Amino acid sequence: MGKTIIFGYARISTMKQRIERQVDNIRREYPDAVIITEEYTGTTTDRPKWNKLVEQIKKEAANGKNVTLVFDEVSRMSRNAAEGIELYEELFNMGVNLVFLKEPHINSSVYRDKLDRQLEKLSGTGSRATDKLLDTMLSALHEYTIDIAKEQIGIAFRTAQAEVDYLHQRTSEGVKKAQAAGKQVGRAKGSTIETKKSIEAKKLIQKHSRDFNGTLSDVDCIKLAGIARNTYFKYKRELKAK
């Protein structure tokens, strides 16, 4: 057996999500994986990086390469269960090993092992009539195994969607409750969020910038603080506004 080519795919559907979590989970289990990341929303059907990755995987598999494709969870594979099931079956039949870290029971290896055990029990007999019957049985068993995988993928998608819906419901209820109590929801207009990094950078700016108590130019001050130019001028505005 040749070396296995391992790909990981991570996707976020909203800007509020953090793609680093998915990448870290994949990297933890498969440190050698080539990880493709993509920002994508449900209203945008085009996923160029994903489409390119699938084509590459199909090409590698068609050339007899051992390919493993890893996801943090099944909902990252496609937009819905129907699309996921279709792709799962296509890649499964091409011999691609599909791994879902949060739903290991639908990893393709689970169903491939099941098929291999069935094949061992139904070996050729040398009788044409009997072997024809066995071929029919193997075909039925393969279809049955894939059907089980499809059912489990559908359940996984429905579970993932239910969790998202529940989270949205709880968030909405929490916001309404806070508003009813007269509390501020979200960041107040004109407010800023201070972090340890921003506090340290502002101290350096205040101490060394010519606009405050120092002698350094903006260029030198940016280098000293080790922050982006836009961030530097943003911090300067916030300091002057105090």
Q: Would 188 be classed as within a structural domain?
A: no
Question: CA–CA distance from 89 to each of 75, 116, 139, 144 (Å)?
Answer: 16, 17, 14, 12
pTM of the model: 0.58
Whole-angstrom Cα distance, residue 199 to residue 211? 17
- Per the prediction, the chain carries an average pLDDT of 79
Total of domains in the chain: 2
Q: Are residues 37 and 144 in the same domain?
A: yes
Residue type, position 94, single letter: M
Asked if pLDDT for residue 181 goes beyond 60, the answer is yes
Please, how many CA atoms are within 13 Å of residue 73, restricted to the half-sphere of its CB? Answer: 18
State which of 132, 159, 186 marks the end of a domain: 159
Q: Residue 54: which CATH number?
A: 3.40.50.1390
Query: What tokens were used for 169?
Result: 């419901």
Q: What percent of the chain has pLDDT over 70?
A: 73
pLDDT in tens, 147-164: 777 777 777 777 766 665
Question: What pLDDT was estimated at residue 101?
Answer: 93
**Which residue range forms the structural domain that includes residue 232?**
196-241
Among 26, 43, 37, CA closest to 79:
43
CB contact at 8 A, 2 and 68: no
Whole-angstrom Cα distance, residue 153 to residue 91? 14
Asked if pLDDT for residue 126 goes beyond 70, the answer is no
Question: What pLDDT was estimated at residue 52?
Answer: 92
